[in-house]
Amino acid sequence: MKIISKLEYAKQLLKKHFGYDTFRKGQEAIISNILNGKDSLGIMPTGAGKSICYQIPAIIFDGITIVISPLISLMKDQVDSLNQIGIPSTYINSSLSSKDYLQTMENISLNMYKIIYIAPERLLIDSFLNLLSTLNISMIAVDEAHCISRWGHDFRPSYTEIANVILNLKTRPIVTAFTATATENVKNDIINLLHLDNPFELTTGFDRANLSFIVKNIENRSEFIYEYIKSNLDKSGIIYCLTRKTVDKLYSNLKLLNYSVSRYHAGLSEKERTKNQNDFVYDKTTIMVATNAFGMGIDKSNIRYVIHYNMPKDIESYYQEAGRGGRDGDKAECILLFKRSDIVTNKLLIEQSQSASNHSKDYEKLNEMVDYCNTDKCLRKYILEYFGEKPEFDKCGNCSNCTSDIEVTDITEDSKKILSCIKRMHEGYGLGLVTDVLKGSNTSKIRSMKFDTLSTYGIMNYYSKDTIKDLISYLVTENYLKYVGNQYPILSLNSSAYDVLFKNKTVTIKRKIERIDAKQSNLSEDAIHKQDTDFDNKLFDILRNLRMELSRKYNLPPFIIFADVTLKQMARLYPTSENEMLMINGVGEYKFKEYGEDFLEVIKKYVSENNIDLSEIKQRQINANTNTKNDYSVMSSSAFSDLNNNNIKANLNKTSSKTNKAKKEDTKQISYNLYLQGLSIEEIANERNLVKQTIENHLLECYKEDFEINLDKYIHSEYKEMIFDAFKKVGTDKLKPIKEILPPEVSYFDIKYYLICYLKNSM
């Protein structure tokens, strides 16, 4: 029998259980060190595969692996996933009933599991500590290890007990720790407070290249969100808000617009929170509106956008929350909607927090977050530098600052006015009063302090106060100014300010110097709503529907069956045999045994019905599989570029000729032609792979332009007079106020249709 190394065996297990041919960046080094008995610390971004780093050694070790995690919701998902791929696992936390807890404890004593997930608070219970002392523990893995540090953003006091528990075990196991976000201070705390023994340290970097970072400074955040969701109806996303009140209001408004939405915050009952979370995880709803109480440990891999309705309190929190998008390695958008009022709200939250000793540190982190929102440099680079990295690029090409087409504006004269005003006010006042002086506000405070006699009084009255504040904040970000103090900071000049005042140094900004409303600030359709084109969308939808059926049948979240990127690869390469299916990333032996035949049957049927020639595709699949061994999460798009752009599209011409003509014909005309063929709105949407609202708008345009079209069967005609009365009452400029005073069953389609009729009658 051939003897293989532990690492070679680990690679075999990776393929057998997880369905991947090679390890991702950093995984092999960490696993190798763990298998050689070394304590290890892995700092790896969300989606980089931290779990596999301890799960594979856990299979190989003789004893049990204990995983300490604060993420109760993640435990169930992780355990379900592990049991699905043949790794016996369980969890112990407060969600278990008394009966389930006793059964689990008995099973543990019978040595039925390889991996046991526990909450850190479990380490405070004597009966559980007594159980640990009887077990053969090979490894303890500490997940979300930053929770042990008071420098971190999620400090958990129970984490400080971990080192003592390990110390009291009869035999010290290997100790490993993992986190996605850790500054140098946090990293040192993890090593010291967990008593890691000369650990192997690995930081793979914090960059998430698949995430697009966008900061938008807009007045009407709700309107932006409504429009954004309207263009992304088929995608899952999270919208984070600072307060419960904001969550409830936004949730109610989205419900009124008939969006598929759930909500989550600490003010809801545990029953409602659990239901709402499960609805989102199981794809029963596509939108989650939540405070930061939601998301820790949500392993949902197909979240395509994360919107922050408010600015978070620090960059660690922001990056962790934004990082919940695109865990499958596919593209996702992280949009932060910034308003100055968020700074005030965050300061109030800091003051209300119990840890007064940390207030100074919290204010420092908040200032970093504000600087991020104000910078016009690369957002990705800003984040990476915050975490101590030195990226080689100046522009990532995938953030709103790098992709903005706004020309650079010279603001040297405005900068001189601001700096001069602060100097004349003896560098002793904050943002609000400086702004009022520059604006020329006529307040009793300004008059009493004689600031209205300064030469800089009213010198920038041609700008709004918000614009002046934005310019001042930008000068802080660029280190011409600094804040002194925390809760009530005052503005002071840095040395570089004197280069502007006296040495004619030029100051520029890549930003429009006026207030920007939500409609003006939308990114271009190409930049923000880019659609995937390198796979068969129609087959992908069929596979998603099959996944949903299996999800309901087995009561599992859809992503545990197969991730979106796995389905997309199936829809790209059309596997029709077991061997071909096992070449798909994410399809291992166990998952094929459970679900493979179901997916093969659907793909074979689709290929047959659409007369798809697979000969060239199969050869390219073999070639591509050979060339894409470095990253198991996402199949390289370049390896398939010829296949995607030529072969698949050519084969699909037979079945989607109408859709392919879209490049040459007016898109509205195509929808109208399909209408003339007798297709319903839903059928046209399916045929064209567009959302229903888009087809409705096409047909409404045709009706408006007096095409031969009858939309009566789609309209709630019984509400005609009520809708007309609404037009007279609130006007016809905006649809939302009209919708709000009508019964919920009246759709926007009804309103738009009768608005066309109303305007025609008024002419």
Q: Read off the pTM.
A: 0.59
> Is the pLDDT reported for residue 512 higher than 70?
no
pLDDT of residue 664: 30
In whole angstroms, give the CA distance from residue 280 to residue 259: 13
pLDDT of residue 296: 62
pLDDT of residue 676: 79
pLDDT tens string 16-50: 888 888 898 889 999 999 999 999 999 987 777 88
Percent residues over pLDDT 70 in the chain: 87
* Tokens coding 137: 């523990």
Percent residues over pLDDT 90 in the chain: 35
Burial class (CB in 10 A: 0-12, 13-18, 19+), 315: buried
Neighbouring C-beta atoms of residue 171, cutoff 10 Å? 8
Summary mean pLDDT of the chain: 83
* Tokens coding 619: 């050869």
More confident: 658 or 551: 551
Sign of CA pseudo-dihedral 520, 522, 524, 527:
positive
More confident: 486 or 431: 431
In whole angstroms, give the CA distance from residue 110 to residue 713: 65
Q: How confident is the model at residue 246 (pLDDT cuts 50, 70, 90)?
A: very high
CB 309 within 8 A of CB 280: no
pLDDT of residue 297: 56
pLDDT tens string 591-618: 898 899 999 999 999 988 888 877 666 6
pLDDT of residue 52: 93
Q: At what angle do helices 6-13 and 50-60 cross, to 10 degrees?
A: 120
Q: How confident is the model at residue 517 (pLDDT cuts 50, 70, 90)?
A: very low
Q: What residues does 260 pair with on adjacent strands?
A: none
More confident: 688 or 562: 562
In whole angstroms, give the CA distance from residue 378 to residue 386: 12
Give the lowest-confidence range in 244-258, 321-335, 563-577, 602-616. 602-616
Element (H, E) at 192: helix 184-193
- 202, 368, 381, 385, 478 from 392: Cα distances, Å: 19, 22, 9, 11, 20
pLDDT tens string 708-733: 788 888 888 888 888 888 888 888 87
What is the CB-side half-sphere exposure of residue 608 using CA atoms within 13 A?
7
Residue type, 112: M
Cα 44 off chain centre by: 16
Neighbouring C-beta atoms of residue 653, cutoff 10 Å? 10
pLDDT tens string 129-143: 888 889 999 999 999
pLDDT of residue 354: 58
> Is the pLDDT reported for residue 532 higher than 70?
no
pLDDT of residue 417: 94
Q: How confident is the model at residue 686 (pLDDT cuts 50, 70, 90)?
A: confident
In whole angstroms, give the CA distance from residue 143 to residue 137: 17
More confident: 189 or 658: 189
pLDDT of residue 421: 95
pLDDT tens string 53-86: 999 999 999 999 999 988 776 788 889 889 988 8
* Tokens coding 177: 């720790």
- Please tell me the total number of residues recorded for the chain in this structure: 763
> Three-class SS string for 686-712?
HHHCCCHHHHHHHHHHHHHCCCCCCCH
What is the CB-side half-sphere exposure of residue 713 using CA atoms within 13 A?
7
More confident: 244 or 734: 244
Q: Which domains does the chain possess? A: 6-203 (3.40.50.300), 211-403 (3.40.50.300), 409-509 (1.10.10.10), 537-639 (1.10.150.80), 660-762 (1.10.10)
